[in-house]
Structure 1
Amino acid sequence: MKRRFVSLLIVALFGSLFGLTASAASIQPTFVSVVMDGKKIWFPDAQAFIDGNGRTLVPVRFVAESLGAKVGWESKTQTVPISRGEQSIKLTINEPVVQVDGKSVTLDTKAILSGGRTFVPLRFVSEVLGATVDWDNPTDTVFIHTSEDSAAQSDQWGRLIRTTNLPRNASDYPYILADVPNEMYEMDYPHSYPKDSRVSAALYSTIPEFNKHNVGIWMGRLKTFGALWLNVDYNTIDDAWVQAVFATKVQSSNSELKYIQRYVEWVKENKIQIEGYLDPEPSMIYKDGFGDNFVRSKFRIKFVSYKESKDLLYDEWFPKKQVLEKGVWYEGYTDIALSTNVGGDWGSTLKVSPGASLFYNHVIRKAVSE
């Protein structure tokens, strides 16, 4: 029972910075991936965020109720009681002390209220629930361990590899991950030049730049780009957002800067608000033969507000005929282009291509309600 509670509670841990739109006060939001016991966790909503002290806070009600735990709310004392089996946990808003079976546990930050939800610090997971937590800085990933399986095979990022129920194009990839569905592997590749195109199995086995260090840098840049790109608010967007997005792109000229500035003007005029995240898969990269390396990524996006369903994203491939409804979570897979204008050892220079799009080569659908 304890392990089930710990494991499921962690499922709702970290995620993107939903609710933290980019502004001068929050200019580099970063999506945080979570890998628990070798499997990546994708979150439906109520994502965690990083506070001003650099600590990750998680939504406790969503988490606990996902487990089937009982969660209460005592408004008079601003207290959240949680019970699971015979264990009793009590949190108090804006207090660093948690009561666990009548004993006090002091955390390094406090439980807070945000958007009507109670958020608790990561240390709650490690100290109160007994999980081991590691942080990988290049890829902004939290690794949470509740068990050890010495026989399990993992990739260089600590992800479990599977050898059964493989996708029909399994040979295109260096390995197949246990937490990635075949649908994501079997998605069509972007338009390419057949002579020079390469699948990820070939890239990793033949090109020196495809090593853990470089790929970690690329994934970090993609996450930063996605967190800016898919989190927009007409109330707060400003030139700092423009400069931050521009910095994630390949710098061939300043012309794109003007396009980003025009998009910001449209965001304000059209009263656009968007929440979302982009989660790239490092083992799923495709070279199209025209100079771009496409990284397959999972995404979630919600269009909170707009006057016209037009050009809601900074994306030249934004659908003109498909109407994306307000307040609805959409999810899917997309291939995001990375490129460079540097020859030779280009590994560390790869950045988001000016033509990168959520809709160029993608699958999108309404998310299933949780």
Structure 2
Amino acid sequence: MAVLVNGFALTASAASKPPTFVGAMMDGMKLWFPDAQAFVDDNQRTLVPVRFVAEALGAKVGWEAESQSVPIQKDDQRIRLTIGSKVATVNGEDVAFDTQAVMQGGRTFVPLRFVSEILGVAVEWDGKTNTVLLSTKPLDGKTDPWGRLIRTTDLPSNAADYPYILADISNEMYELAYPYHHEERSKVSATVASQTEYSKQNKDIWIERVKTFGSLWLNVDYRTIDDSWAQALFATKMQNSDGELRRIREYVSWVKENHIHIEGYLDPEPSMIFYDGFGSDNIRAHFRLRFVSYDKSERLLYDQWFPNDLSFEKGKWYEGYTDIQMSTNVGGDWGSTLKVSPTASLFSNYMFVKAAEKDE
């Protein structure tokens, strides 16, 4: 049996493999997908929800149900993609390409590079961070090591705590209170940024680990979850004992019993890392999450801080910021060994900023 997770067709045997979510930046600004997430298909091509093409690339997008086709227009460029076909029509001419538009989970996905380049948008791929880089004009301003624009106006009240302030991040994400910490030994992002362990190379490793963790942690389906999912989630964390694996397996049993189906993602920010003074670093992340189904609103996530007293509407996307705790049991040159802490929680230090409309 195949089911859909954020636009991915997954079988039970693949339930433990985290979806390869793809990030996107355009002209130095990170883009967040409005509903379903972009993904890499079997042809190693990035497919994005067609709504993203309309909103990010400024094109007009339609849908013709009878022909199962997607007309896309921007200025004098006209593209027509047909679901399941590797031939598109571009300004009246047939053009073959190496993947196809697909319909998954009620969403239409189109190949980003093919569409973008025809619309005059340059496309590059950053394999280290699984990010598509879109460019329509030269960047005007300074950028961080990941190519994102830095702003110098309308700064958050605690701007001095950070090495720089990004143009695509809101002040409320910067101003979210720090997690529990030691007042004297804790270190803010601006302080740790100059330390050897906090190099870009190590941060890229940490960010990918948090994304992988989130891809498993926030994508749970009672129809496919099995022990391989439990072992995969356990492998993403700093392992202190087999006791946690036992607790994860107990959660798997609860997911099946309670018919829990969750979709979501974590998008960690490498410039927002806070050392708490007790031996752990915390990476601030943007998250989106929805609870598709459940019987009882208890322990919906594998999270010791899950708020059983909160009510989550089924099918509604919840968006916010959180701090993901990271730790290591290695001394000396520990930078590359940092992994998600056994006590990491979405709800120990978080803020909801928006509850989007339900996807029908």
Range class of TM-score, shorter chain? over 0.9
Corresponding position: 1:59 with 2:49: yes
**C-alpha distance after superposition, 1:146-189 (max 9, x if no partner):** 1113x410000101000000111101000000000000001100
SS in 2 for 1:262: helix
Partner of 1:362: 350
Match of 1:33 in 2: 23
TM-fit CA distance, 1:128: 1.8
8 A contact 1:22–1:231 mirrored in 2: no
Aligned residue number for residue 191 of structure 2: 202
Aligned to 2:104: 114
Q: Distance in 1 between matches of 2:243 and 2:128?
A: 29
What letter matches 1:69 in structure 2?
K
Q: Is the 8 A contact 1:200 1:283 kept in 2?
A: yes
Q: CA deviation at 1:49?
A: 1.9
Residue 327 of structure 2 corresponds to which residue in structure 1?
A: 339
Q: For residue 90 of structure 1, what is the aligned residue in structure 2?
A: 80
1:127 aligns with 2:121: no
1:186 to 172, 175, 185: 175
| Counterpart Cα distance in 2 of 1:353 and 1:99 | 50
CA distance 1:197–1:61, shift in 2 (3 Å): closer
* Runs of 5+ consecutive residues of structure 1 not aligned to the other structure: 1-16
- Give the 5 Å matches for 1:1-370: 18-20=6-8, 23-26=12-15, 27-61=17-51, 63-64=53-54, 67=58, 69-75=60-66, 77-149=67-139, 151-205=140-194, 207-369=195-357
- The alignment's TM-score, normalised by the length of structure 1, stands at 0.90
Tell me how large the CA RMSD over aligned residues is: 1.9
Inter-CA distance 365–307: structure 2 relative to 1 (3 Å threshold): farther
The one-letter code matched in structure 2 to 1:64 is A
Letter in 2 for 1:222: V
Structure-2 change in CA distance of 1:269 and 1:18 (3 Å): same
Contact 2:23 2:38 in 1 (8 A): no
Checking the alignment, whether the CA contact within 8 Å between 2:125 and 2:132 is kept in structure 1 is: yes
Matched to 1:353, the amino acid is S
Assess if the C-alpha contact under 8 Å between 1:190 and 1:335 holds in 2: yes
Unaligned stretches of 5+ residues in structure 2: none
Please identify, of 175-184 and 79-88, the stretch whose mean Cα deviation from structure 2 is larger.
79-88
For 1:231, give the aligned amino acid. N
Change (3 A) 1:324 1:90: same
Q: Secondary structure at the match of 2:196?
A: coil
User: How far apart in 2 are the matches of 1:166 and 1:65?
Assistant: 27
Aligned length: 351
Q: CA deviation at 1:325?
A: 1.6
What TM-score does the superposition give when structure 2 sets the normalisation length?
Answer: 0.92
Q: Report the Cα distance in structure 1 between the residues aligned to 2:187 and 2:75, rounded to whole angstroms.
A: 53
Q: Secondary structure at the match of 1:63?
A: helix
Please give the alpha-carbon distance, in whole angstroms, between the structure 2 residues aligned to 1:74 and 1:299.
33
Q: Where has structure 1 moved over 6 Å in runs of 4 or more?
A: none
1:256-280 residue CA offsets vs partner (Å, 9 max, x unmatched):
1111100000000000000111100
> Aligned with 1:197: secondary structure?
coil
Query: Are the counterparts in 1 of residues 43 and 98 from structure 2 also a CA contact under 8 Å?
Result: no
Identity of aligned residues (%): 59
Supply the distance in 2 between the matched residues of 1:25 and 1:54 (Cα, whole angstroms).
17
CA distance in 2, matches of 1:306, 1:333: 24
| Distance apart, 1:63 and its partner CA | 3.2
- Higher alpha-carbon deviation: 50-59 or 65-74: 65-74
Closer, same or farther: CA 365–179 of 1 in aligned 2, 3 Å: closer
Distance 1:363 1:25, change over 3 A: same
Which structure has greater strand proportion? 2
